[in-house]
Amino acid sequence: MQATLPSAPARTMAFMLFIAGMGGLLYGIDIGIIAGALPYLESTASVAWKLSTQQLSFIVAAVLLGSVLSSLFAGALADWIGRRWAMVLSGALFTLSIPLIALADGYGPLLLGRLLQGVSGGLIGVVVPLYLAECLHARERGRGAALFQLLLTIGLVAAALIGLVQAQSVETATAAAQSLDEAARGAAIFSAKDHAWRSIFWMCLAPGLVFTAGSLLLSESPRWLARHGRMAQAKLALLRTRNAAEAEAELLDIQRAPVHGSGEDGARQALLSRRYVLPFLLACLVLALTQATGINSILAYVVNILNQAGLPGSTANLADVGLKVLNAVMTVVAVVLVDRKGRKFLLMLGCGGIVLALLTAGLLFRSVEGEQRDVRAAVTARVQGDSLELRLDPATLQALGAPAGGPPQQLTVAYAYGPFTNVQTRRSDDPALAPLQMSRADTVQADSVIGQFFRRLHLNPFADPAEARNAPLRIEQVHLSSVPSSTHGWWVATAICLFVASFAVGPGVCVWLALSELMPTRIRSNGMSIALLVNQFVSTVIAAAFLPTVGQYGYATMFFYGAGCAALYFLTAAFLLPETKGKTLEEIEAHFAK
């Protein structure tokens, strides 16, 4: 018996879903790839290029900042050049960012490459779901949205696996270098770590090429074509994924659809008219609270967090992989449950789990951070002029009060030159780290065009290098403590697992459904753009402040802050959000009209 081959529309739709899934994969890689690369980037770039903690934070946050920038024009760009070409552009930007980062020889190319990745991710996050919604039949849209979200979480898993492979190569190189003298051993380990973070980015090139090439082979959105008067091409695009009768009927619906926002009726239905203020503000609050839990920052810094909690390098990378797999599995669970249990129930369940998880992680870190010894006076006494060099050898550790022959120690120093601050951390059991050095040249960043522009407007969001030119080195905080045990690290990893699982079940899936369902149809495009901008802005601010905050106040502070935001999220879901399961958009709109 001859096997029945899939029909042409079925094959076309499968290809469309595959390319859209690749877009979700790139979006997940955008978010997750820095977690595995950051420890090695921090170890090498801070020595070779004298990058400060704030600059490393900017490198992490640049993806989120790029997403904010692209969200401002993603919709307009997709309306101008079309959904398909916007997808091609997003893939090309991601592909271009890889060699820019992997071949970087300083802070500038690194930051630019990460910004390009962010712009690409922002475009993908807007244009791919928009393309699917306009191309897929109504009965397929849910599957398309779920596939995009699922592949996003798989992208996080892929990024973590890449990081794990490179972590194991670094450990192999470290073991092989133990027979060398101290200088040669340090150089070999430095070289292995430098190669590791560059290889992590190189391994992400293939998905970018596949998505870019695949997007070129897609047809344009039929609704975009119809909006531009190209009805014959719109019908052909519909025929690629539908039979003739369905394509003809849907084309008639597209032609009959009114143009929103025009004339007197459109003026009455403006975004901030009284009828739409509540759902708009509620959607903005939901998206802001989603990021305020710290999900993106915790995923980005999870290897660093677990290292600080007591897990060694490769173990922390392995735990990172487990977290990303857990995220993907729980996303599947959420997709299955969301239409059975409802959005409100899953949001409350997820937020409750997040509160418990972050409080637990915060208390675990507080238990070890409470044992830190303040050695500020002893370190300040070692300052020579306006600089300081400190090597964590046994003699120095004993001079700072560490017990002789005791467990490995960790030193965290927060210091400043005028308004320019920095935080450095060194562990006595990491032979690859150079001595802790503080100098004006490494801390005070050169003035920028952006900073000069804001100062001309009498605004001061950026520090002025002139104020730090003659400012003395100021040691603000110095803490010395034992590196936590691996048992403590596994308890922290368990708490973060609960956090990720709870987020995936609740906000991870429900937030996007709530956003599209809360927003009335007439304001959805404008309202979603603003709400997504709020989402990305909150995420960027938290990522940029993460390392300086934990350096000054400890990891417990960040976890307690996230728990507080999650508690507010729970109250919002319980008392403000309506249950939208099984309701038409008109019924939801009528609820807010009351």
Residue 54 is predicted with a pLDDT of 66
574 vs 581, higher pLDDT: 574
* The residue type at 421: T
Residue 468 lies in a domain: yes
**Where in the sequence is the domain holding 205, given as residue range(s)?**
7-218
51 and 88 inside one domain: yes
Q: What is the CATH number of the domain that holds 161?
A: 1.20.1250.20
127 and 244 inside one domain: no
16 and 107 inside one domain: yes
If residue 45 lies in a helix (H) or strand (E), which one and from where to where? Answer: helix 8-48
Instruction: Give the mean model confidence (pLDDT) for residues 91-106.
Output: 90
Angle, helix 8-48 to helix 205-217, in steps of 10 degrees: 150
- Range scoring the smallest mean pLDDT among 157-166, 408-417, 448-457: 448-457
Q: How far apart are CA 46 and CA 43, in angstroms?
A: 6
CB atoms within 10 A of CB 268: 10
214 and 243 inside one domain: no
Domain boundary among 468, 485, 502: 485
Residue 4 is predicted with a pLDDT of 45
Cross-strand bridge partners of residue 409: 482
Cross-strand bridge partners of residue 527: none
187 and 235 inside one domain: no
Say which residues have a Cβ less than 8 Å from residue 260's Cβ, sequence separation at least 6.
266, 269, 521, 522
156 and 233 inside one domain: no
158 and 64 inside one domain: yes
Based on the structure, what is the number of domains in the chain?
3
Q: How far apart are CA 455 and CA 238, in angstroms?
A: 54
Residue 274 is predicted with a pLDDT of 60
137 and 244 inside one domain: no
Residue 313 lies in a domain: no
Instruction: Give the mean model confidence (pLDDT) for residues 372-388.
Output: 81
22 and 123 inside one domain: yes
- Range scoring the smallest mean pLDDT among 115-124, 334-343, 427-436, 533-542: 427-436
Reported as a single tens digit per residue, the pLDDT across 465-489 is: 777 777 888 888 888 877 788 888 8
If residue 144 lies in a helix (H) or strand (E), which one and from where to where? Answer: helix 141-176
Total-model pTM? 0.66
Residue 454 is predicted with a pLDDT of 45
25 and 62 inside one domain: yes
- Range scoring the smallest mean pLDDT among 18-27, 206-215, 234-243, 285-294: 234-243
User: Is 135 within 8 Å of 16 (Cβ atoms)?
Assistant: yes
Residue 244 is predicted with a pLDDT of 77
CB atoms within 10 A of CB 258: 10
